Amino acid sequence: MNKKTALIVYAHPEPKSFNSALRDTAVKTLQAQRYNVLVSDLYAQHFQPVISKTDIIGELEDPKHFNYPNEVGAAYKNDSLCLDVKQEIQKLKLADLVIFQFPMQWASVPAILKGWFERVLIKDFAFSFPKMLDEGLIKGKKAVLSFTTGCPGGMFTPNGLLGDLNVILWPIQYCTLRFCGFDVLKPQCSFSPTHADDKQREEMLNAWGTRLKNILTEEPIMFPSLSNFDAQKWFVISDNNVEEQKNKEVGLSVGHHLGKKMPL
């Protein structure tokens, strides 16, 4: 067997945090299985999350009108991206599995991780048009969100204060990761470790370590295929697929529920 590579994109500023313990559990478990483990510690690296012209070294394609997606796409092809972005892209190219480890903040990822998405998952490297979803340029790699919350799990249910966790994660899991072609695995949610006792926190770490031993054998979350959409109608669900869904109890996906119950 070829040696597998895992990339952990870690976004927490405190080395003694529970997120750090989850990261260390992942490193230890995966290395024990002979993975090559890479870690991007975004705070320690002082990763710059803001997109700008400085992401491109040298002349712009169109200096009169700065279009970031087009410029970085061209810079990727011309090998003229700035060093930190090139380094993250190289790590991602090597990875079979990508773990995003972070504390959920305002129902999303921390700003530094959002900036990683914006600066690393760029046009012509991670996606193009129409190379997206199951045809995305990063297809074949698996990704998983591993995160902590400040609230207990019951608050992230359809009847909970914050609503269905699947809806909250949709922009990240589908609109970002799946859009680029990742096979997205179910998230690893460590609910409210701050309010847990030592035994409960140990159980969370053990559960993560146990899961990681077989994580590459897991089936990814089901999302619509690019073929479900009509490119001639600006990628709305095709009439044939709408017809196929008419008599089904649940919708096609969380984001494409078609007025039906949302799938889990």
205 and 255 share one domain: no
64 C-beta neighbours (distance < 10 Å), count:
5
**Is pTM, for the whole model, over 0.85?**
yes
Distance, in Å, from the CA atom of 145 to the CA atom of 171, rounded to the nearest integer, reads: 12
The percentage of the chain sitting over the pLDDT mark of 90, rounded to a whole number, equals 88
pLDDT higher at 74 or 259: 74
pLDDT of residue 259: 85
> Is 98 a residue whose pLDDT tops 80?
yes
pLDDT of residue 207: 98
216 and 229 share one domain: no
27 and 90 share one domain: yes
133 and 25 share one domain: yes
62 and 78 share one domain: yes
Sign of the Cα torsion 18, 185, 132, 138 reads: positive
Task: Yes or no: say if 134 and 182 are a contact pair by the CB < 8 Å rule.
Answer: no
Q: Mark out the alpha helices in the chain (DSSP H runs).
A: 18-32, 68-78, 83-94, 111-120, 165-172, 198-212, 239-245
Q: How many domains does the structure of the chain reveal?
A: 2
| Closest of 44, 47, 43, 65 to residue 55, by C-alpha | 47
Task: Yes or no: say if 26 and 6 are a contact pair by the CB < 8 Å rule.
Answer: yes
Domain region containing 127: 5-221
Q: Which two tokens stand for residue 50?
A: 């803001």
Distance, in Å, from the CA atom of 191 to the CA atom of 196, rounded to the nearest integer, reads: 9
34 and 132 share one domain: yes
Mean pLDDT (the chain) is: 95
> Is 258 a residue whose pLDDT tops 90?
no
Distance, in Å, from the CA atom of 80 to the CA atom of 57, rounded to the nearest integer, reads: 5
pLDDT digits (tens, 9 = 90+) for 142-167: 999 999 999 999 999 999 999 999 99
90 and 106 share one domain: yes
Place 1 in a pLDDT band, splitting at 50, 70 and 90. low
Contacts of 132 (CB under 8 A, 6+ apart): 179, 180, 181, 226
pLDDT of residue 263: 82
pLDDT of residue 37: 98
pLDDT higher at 233 or 139: 139
209 and 239 share one domain: no
* First-to-final CA distance of the chain: 34
pLDDT higher at 234 or 120: 120
Per DSSP, the residues of 88-135 read: HHHHHHH-SEEEEEEE-BTTB--HHHHHHHHHHS-BTTTB-SS--GGG
Distance, in Å, from the CA atom of 42 to the CA atom of 11, rounded to the nearest integer, reads: 6
pLDDT of residue 45: 98
